[in-house]
Chains A and B, each alone.
Chain A
Amino acid sequence: KAGVTQTPRYLIKTRGQQVTLSCSPISGHRSVSWYQQTPGQGLQFLFEYFSETQRNKGNFPGRFSGRQFSNSRSEMNVSTLELGDSALYLCASSPSSPDTQYFGPGTRLTVL
């Protein structure tokens, strides 16, 4: 089975812009979670989607949003980018919820 895929792998944006990141889960997986990883804060949970519904949300401002499609693919959007949004954004999928999560390679976002 193919693993979790994320696109794009690298992205450079400027402050104030918005960005959309995409995640395709492992085939058959219905839950997708998003995490932000930075050197200072480590890995932090953003949100989880299961069967197109947001199941849980972390402590991030409303500029961070996401959605899940009927084929379980997910997107996350960050609006009005700030320098502090520079991070590795990781997507993880699991067959169900709760269940073991498997991570994708991440999208490295740099905000200038």
Chain B
Amino acid sequence: GQNIDQPTEMTATEGAIVQINCTYQTSGFNGLFWYQQHAGEAPTFLSYNVLDGLEEKGRFSSFLSRSKGYSYLLLKELQMKDSASYLCAVRPEYGNKLVFGAGTILRVKS
């Protein structure tokens, strides 16, 4: 089966750094994605990892360890607008099928 785990909720302070973890057990692995979804809106693409290591994109970074089935999304210099759900998704096979975790609701407080 396919299993992707991430914390349900997290709270952090404006200006701080937060790390959202994701662990996965899937039938195969062909890449891991992070999406951001604000309430009532569509998911928007944040990052993609297929090889081990860190990918940095502005205030957002994502890390992958394939041997551990583990990824994290790091958000720096948190802003109020970062309050959203963060979705970890694995592409288990060739093609575009994504298996999503339940999402982590991040609340940024002032």
- Interface, chain A (partner B; CB < 8 A): 4, 31, 33, 35, 42-45, 48, 50, 55-56, 58, 90, 92, 94, 97-106
Partner of B42 from the list A45, A55, A58, A90 (CB cut-off 8 Å) is A90
B45-A45 in contact (CB<8A): no
A98-B45 in contact (CB<8A): no
Min C-beta distance of B31 to chain A, whole Å? 7
**Chain A CB within 8 A of B30 CB:** yes
* Interface size classification for chain B: 20 to 34
Min C-beta distance of A44 to chain B, whole Å? 7
Query: Would you call the interface of chain B mostly helix, strand, loop, or mixed?
Result: loop
B87-A55 in contact (CB<8A): no
Of the stretches B15-23, B69-77, B90-98, the one at the interface is B90-98
- Interface, chain B (partner A; CB < 8 A): 30-31, 33, 35, 41-45, 48, 87, 89, 91, 93-103
B98-A45 in contact (CB<8A): yes
Which residues of chain A come closer than 8 Å to B95, judged between CB atoms? 48, 50, 55-56, 97-98
4 A-B pairs with least C-beta separation: A43-B100, A103-B42, A56-B97, A56-B95
Which residues of chain B come closer than 8 Å to A97, judged between CB atoms? 95-96
**With the chains together, A94 CA to B45 CA distance in Å?**
12
A42-B103 in contact (CB<8A): yes
Given the contacts A42-B101, A42-B103, A43-B87, A99 and B96 also touching, CB distance less than 8 Å:
yes
